[in-house]
């Protein structure tokens, strides 16, 4: 890679992050990022943040960065031994995607349910799925406290920053979904009035739609870009062993497959 002017790169990232950015601006940013080192990309992003840009406004720049990382890596999941830090994260993603598939179908059914039935199996299923999505917190914690810092030490700052941001956007929505599920599964509850149930149903649909769409996209980026990048950049087996020790200290999810 050749050195790039970080101020020029920062300006290109600012332009591509603004509403109405055109393809020519995106191509320019992509060309500069392709020539830049991870440290230069991080310096440019930090320059924008220091100048007042919110981290979430760098999402477009992060998407370009992830695209470039994807071109340099191929998923290496099949080569991982059982119990490896990434193997566990990959396998937990399979479980989470299964929950999302069920939630997607369940939300569609609930959308055409006209009356609240406290004994409905769908309401019980909603609570089960919401509990497991909330229970994914240890998965996110292992990423945020162990995996992401190792990437950041190696100059990959932007993508972990956005992944953390997205985790923070998922958390309150998952907890709210669980709260809504609990309100309709309490055995002492009388059926909701039609208007109240309609409002409940709409909020569930909105939350489920957001979680399903954005968490699937989030998992795709981690599975196909971020994890392979980590496997390529963290080459020392001793580092992975220490990461495994720290992950074990955080613990597994209630749905984590056995190694």
Are residues 15 and 96 located together in one domain of the fold? no
Last residue of a domain, one of 72, 91, 119: 72
Domain that holds residue 55: 6-72
- If one counts every other C-beta atom within 10 angstroms of the C-beta of residue 96, the result is 21
Element (H, E) at 16: helix 6-17
Q: 215 and 101 share a domain?
A: yes
Same domain, 176 and 238: yes
Share of the chain above pLDDT 90, in %: 51
Q: Which two tokens stand for residue 156?
A: 């990959």
Among residues 5, 35, 56, which one has the least CA distance to residue 158? 56
pTM of the model: 0.79
Q: State whether 85 and 40 are in the same domain.
A: no
- For residue 55, pLDDT over 80 is answered with no
Residues 121 and 180 in one domain: yes
Cα(165)–Cα(157) distance, integer angstroms: 12
Give residue 1's pLDDT band: very low, low, confident or very high (50, 70, 90): very low
Identify which of 212, 215, 134, 208 has the alpha carbon closest to the alpha carbon of residue 171. 134
Residue ending a domain, among 40, 72, 104, is 72
Quote the number of domains for the chain: 2
Q: Are 55 and 83 part of one and the same domain? A: no
Question: Which of 72, 90, 113 corresponds to the end of one domain?
Answer: 72
């Amino acid at each position: 890679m050749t050195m790039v002017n970080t101020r020029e790169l920062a300006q290109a990232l600012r332009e591509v992050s603004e509403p109405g950015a055109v393809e020519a601006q995106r191509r320019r940013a992509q060309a500069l990022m392709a020539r830049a080192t991870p440290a230069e990309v991080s310096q440019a992003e930090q320059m924008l943040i220091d100048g007042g840009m919110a981290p979430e406004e760098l999402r477009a720049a992060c998407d370009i960065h992830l695209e470039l990382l994807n071109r340099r890596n191929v998923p290496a999941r099949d080569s991982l031994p059982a119990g490896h830090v990434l193997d566990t994260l990959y396998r937990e993603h399979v479980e989470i995607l299964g929950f999302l598939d069920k939630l997607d179908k369940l939300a569609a059914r609930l959308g055409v349910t006209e009356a609240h039935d406290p004994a409905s199996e769908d309401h019980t299923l909603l609570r089960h799925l919401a509990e497991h999505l909330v229970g994914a917190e240890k998965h996110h914690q292992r990423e945020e406290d162990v995996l992401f810092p190792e990437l950041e030490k190696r100059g990959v700052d932007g993508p972990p920053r956005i992944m953390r941001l997205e985790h923070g956007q998922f958390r309150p929505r998952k907890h709210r979904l669980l709260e809504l599920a609990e309100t309709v599964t309490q055995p002492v509850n009388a059926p909701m009035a039609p208007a109240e149930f309609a409002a409940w149903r709409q909020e569930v649909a909105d939350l489920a739609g957001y979680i399903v769409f954005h968490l699937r996209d989030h998992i795709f980026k981690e599975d196909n870009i971020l994890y392979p990048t980590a496997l390529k950049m963290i080459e020392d087996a001793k580092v992975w062993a220490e990461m495994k020790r720290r992950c074990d200290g955080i613990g597994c999810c209630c749905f984590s497959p056995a190694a």
